[in-house]
Amino acid sequence: MLTGFDFVLAALAALAAGAVNALAGGGTLITFPMLTFLGVPAVMANVTNTVALCPGYFGGTLAQMKDLQGQKSRLWLIVPASIVGGVLGGFLLLQTGEKLFKDLVPYLILLASGLLAIQDPVRAWLITLAPGASAGERMGESHGARLEKLTWLPVGLASIYGGYFGAGLSVIVLSALGLTLEDTLTRLNALKQAVAFSVNVAAAIFFIFSGQVLWSAAAVMALGALIGGVLGGKLAGKIKPSTLRWTVVTIGVIVAIIYFVRG
């Protein structure tokens, strides 16, 4: 049973995560460890975290609606794959069991931290694929059209990871989209937001019926994440995303080491 002070800590962690997600990504590396620190079992903490951060993903998608215009056919292709992947990932999480998932946690956190660390190189790689790059750096038009039809496959695989453990999902999805789509980074980033929102909501709806959601914590965290997202949006341009990202990566590595030591 969480105390009043525990709820305050959970809300503050969610507020920080909402701001971090708005600025650089990686908020789950703050909220998930906080929940386990407060004594919430690992699987329940992950499930609760997924449900609680849904408002933040919704806000991020709304903020980039303009960049989704003209991409309706792509959304029809990848959103169903995102939903199926999110549910499948959630199903795998619930089948994992508390002990095994707890053993996997430090490795998952290190993986998420690593994905966050390579975000800039991934973006640089995507820019070389964008229109305007040299002919040697861009995919041919016909080849690109054929690849686009396969976008659901890498996105679906990334979504399974997202439903299982959401940290680092944005980087995976952005890389998956870059494998098959030729477009500007801004439009790919908008698609990434839509995919992340679809995965999170699909997994969250699945988790609602699992009996593993700690609703009291999810409620205060959802409010904290929403406020944090608004604050993060206002801080955009005042804080370097790369500085914040490496701070979160460092925190993630330290947390993973603590999990390893504690066993």
Q: Which of 24-33, 47-56, 109-118, 139-148 has the lowest average pLDDT?
A: 139-148
- Cα dihedral value 68, 74, 80, 85, nearest 10: -90
Kindly report the backbone phi and psi dihedral angles of residue 236, in degrees, each rounded to the nearest multiple of 5, phi listed first: -55, 130
DSSP state at residue 211: T
What does the pLDDT look like over 206-216, one tens digit per residue? Answer: 999 899 999 99
Residue 45's alpha-carbon distances to 30, 41, 113, 212, 249, in angstroms, are 12, 6, 18, 8, 20
User: DSSP 3-state assignment of 236?
Assistant: strand
> Considering only CA atoms, which of 227, 91, 98 is closest in space to residue 164?
91
Residues 31, 1: Cα–Cα separation, whole Å: 18
The two tokens of residue 218 are 């999810």
Can you give the pTM of this predicted structure? 0.81
Residues 201, 5: Cα–Cα separation, whole Å: 28
Highest mean pLDDT among 21-30, 45-54, 57-66: 45-54
The pLDDT value recorded for residue 251 is: 84
